[in-house]
Amino acid sequence: MPAKPHANVRVSQAAGFGGLRVLSLESRRATEVATLIRTYGGEPLTAPAMREEPLESNEPVLEFAEGVQRGAFDLVIFTTGVGVKALVKIVSQHGNREGFLDALRSIKVAARGPKSSSALRELNIPISVIAPEPFTWRALMIAMEKEFGEAFQGMNIAVQEYGTPNPELLTALAEKGISITRLPVYRWALPEDVQPLREAVIALAHGHVDVLLLMNAGQVAHLFLMAERMGYTEALYEGFRSTLIGSIGPSTTEGLSMYNVQPDFEPSQSRMGFLVKELAEGAGALLKQKRAAAALKLTRQVPSLPISPFLRGDAASRPGGAQEPTPIDFLHEIGSRMAAADPLHVVLNRILDFASSLIQCDSCFIYLLEDNELVLRASKNPHADVVDRLGISLGQGITGWVGWHREPVVISSDALKDPRFKRFRNLPEDSFEAFLSVPIMCRGKLVGVMNLQHRKPYQHSEQEVRLLAAVGYLVGAELERARLETENSELTERLESRKQIERAKGVLQREFGLDEEAAYRAMQRESRQRRKSMREIAEAILLNEDLRKSRLAESGN
């Protein structure tokens, strides 16, 4: 079970996250959550995971409203306050608002939690049943069975859904032989800009987030959906081993359980403020405990410890007085990490992890040379606004100097005062003190530049500089291979998409007598309206054409 504080817990002024990186997937209240995290001493990272999207048709809502007015339902279950308001808004725009509300006041109503009950009270709608804490579907079922007794089984019930159906609630109702009408009012969709969520998945997968805050089951579902699309699902589970997971309450915890994940913390009350405040008090100790348990489990599973403590020359870290690593140890370590033929972003993040394990740092960047410009392609800390966007000319700033001269730069303190330094907007690491930058090479050619930075002054040893420089030389060929394969894959994908679009245009021209330009515009219009890519629209047209031909063949025409 997740840790749950006593109801009388109070956070002292000194208590807080202590600089931990805290990731929130909240969308509507993202700014408010970030402010709370900052207030309690955390470094907020925000990545909106979802948005509420209206349904394509209001027909189910209008049919429900008509059914309420003719007495078709014995009980209506409302699960969210947003759903109540959205429902009334749709009825107000397309139907008889007052007639609907009067009819709703005459039938039994159940509310899953305080938000839905508050929205109902604002409309003066009597509530027969309110689920007690923790406001889960199970608590609601128990409350309804207690209130209605045997009559419960013979009821016709409408269930207002929030974003996605609740299969557990629907199954529990169906098992009692209850007639159910599902009432979708809105749906959850991925945010229009998914880049921050992608960055969040990468950061979680590689252990660069200390605390994850989850406010509803939709955030959980979309986090795993994005991880699946990126091929990061297993890596996400691995990242959770070193990340403290805070769930706002049982409903979100149930969402996590569908992915076999158990949160580490639930607040005393299922509210955003309580989650941030109460988790801040014990985050440091809970995180330390979780990471220690994960390290112990890993040590038991894998006989040999990672080589990075040895490479730093830390004698105290060698179990049983182990000997200094040999060159073979080092080559095996980096070779095993780099040899897999993975996509570019996977290779980049593997290099970030390896470099950060060699030298414990606060920030690590990898820039790749593209058209005589060093483009930021990977970051230890999530920077969705600059990764793949920030470009540095050769010779510009410390990074550009390293790329131009193909030599390492080592600065132990006051990096900002170095004459080669150049500040970049929206890059917090530009205020760090220490700086180590090395070129990444392949066959005598520059592939990119890798930077390690520290918030406080740091004296890099000669061994550390040589080791990181060696990494730069060793990974250059792998990065170049991954980059070329990625470019080839993208080119192949574009060519295939173009072929599909051309075929679909031909179908439209033939079936509807359109010219080429009109057919293309029709596909563009569908793409915008349905928020699908041109290739997806083309594939749908071609699939429909194939089905039509199959039906004709079966009928013998």
| Contact yes or no for 307/28 (Cβ under 8 A) | no
Structure tokens at 214: 């989850």
- Is the residue at 62 inside a domain? no
| Contact yes or no for 145/155 (Cβ under 8 A) | no
* Same domain? 253 vs 276: yes
- Give the Cα separation of 244 and 248 in Å (integer): 13
* Same domain? 368 vs 478: yes
* Same domain? 81 vs 182: yes
Specify the CATH number for the domain of residue 101.
3.40.50.10090
User: Is residue 384 very low, low, confident or very high in pLDDT (cuts 50, 70, 90)?
Assistant: low
| Contact yes or no for 440/472 (Cβ under 8 A) | yes
* Same domain? 38 vs 161: no
Tokens 């938000």, residue located = 115
pLDDT score for 289: 87
* pLDDT exceeds cutoff 50 at 449: yes
First to last CA, the chain: 64
* Same domain? 389 vs 331: no
Which of the pair, 202 or 337, is modelled with greater confidence? 202
Which of 270, 300, 330 is where one domain is finished? Answer: 300
pLDDT score for 343: 62
* Same domain? 470 vs 436: yes
Q: Is 486 helix (H, G, I), strand (E, B) or coil?
A: helix
User: Is residue 127 very low, low, confident or very high in pLDDT (cuts 50, 70, 90)?
Assistant: very high
Backbone angles phi, psi at 82, to 5 degrees: -60, -40
Specify the CATH number for the domain of residue 403.
3.30.450.40
pLDDT score for 328: 45
* pLDDT exceeds cutoff 80 at 208: yes
Q: Write out the E strands in 203-351.
A: 211-214, 244-247
- Is the residue at 7 inside a domain? no
- Is the residue at 64 inside a domain? no
Q: Is 323 helix (H, G, I), strand (E, B) or coil?
A: coil
- Is the residue at 318 inside a domain? yes
Q: Taking the alpha carbons of 365, 369, 370, 374 in that order, is the dihedral positive or negative?
A: positive
| Contact yes or no for 260/280 (Cβ under 8 A) | no
Backbone angles phi, psi at 417, to 5 degrees: -90, -5
> Which amino acid, residue 48?
P
| Contact yes or no for 372/419 (Cβ under 8 A) | no
* Same domain? 227 vs 287: yes
Which of 300, 321, 353 is where one domain is finished? Answer: 300
- Is the residue at 10 inside a domain? no
Q: Taking the alpha carbons of 200, 205, 209, 212 in that order, is the dihedral positive or negative?
A: positive
User: What percent of the chain lies above the pLDDT cut of 90?
Assistant: 17
- Is the residue at 67 inside a domain? no
User: Is residue 315 very low, low, confident or very high in pLDDT (cuts 50, 70, 90)?
Assistant: very low
CA 540 to each of CA 172, 503, 529: distance values in angstroms, whole numbers, following the listed order: 36, 12, 14
Average pLDDT rounded to a whole number, residues 272-283: 92
Q: Which of 188, 208, 225, 212 is nearest to 23 (CA)?
A: 212
Which of 158, 189, 220 is where one domain is finished? Answer: 189
* Same domain? 529 vs 549: yes
Whether residue 134 is preceded by a cis peptide bond, meaning omega within 30 degrees of 0, is: yes
* Same domain? 165 vs 263: no
pLDDT digits (tens, 9 = 90+) for 351-368: 787 777 778 888 888 888
Whether residue 408 is preceded by a cis peptide bond, meaning omega within 30 degrees of 0, is: no
- Give the Cα separation of 473 and 445 in Å (integer): 10
Tokens 């070129």, residue located = 439
Average pLDDT rounded to a whole number, residues 470-497: 71
Specify the CATH number for the domain of residue 512.
1.10.10.10
Inter-helix orientation angle 344-358/462-512, to 10°: 160
* Same domain? 134 vs 237: no
CA 145 to each of CA 54, 129, 408: distance values in angstroms, whole numbers, following the listed order: 33, 10, 71
- Is the residue at 5 inside a domain? no
Average pLDDT rounded to a whole number, residues 311-320: 38
Q: Which structural domain, as residue segments, surrounds residue 283?
A: 21-50+191-300
DSSP letter at 265?
Answer: B
* Same domain? 226 vs 294: yes
Number of structural domains the chain divides into: 5
* Same domain? 359 vs 276: no
| Contact yes or no for 215/188 (Cβ under 8 A) | no
- Is the residue at 1 inside a domain? no
Structure tokens at 262: 């158990």
pLDDT score for 326: 45
Structure tokens at 239: 């990242």
Structure tokens at 343: 């996509």
Q: Is 430 exposed, middle or buried (0-12, 13-18, 19+ CB in 10 A)?
A: middle
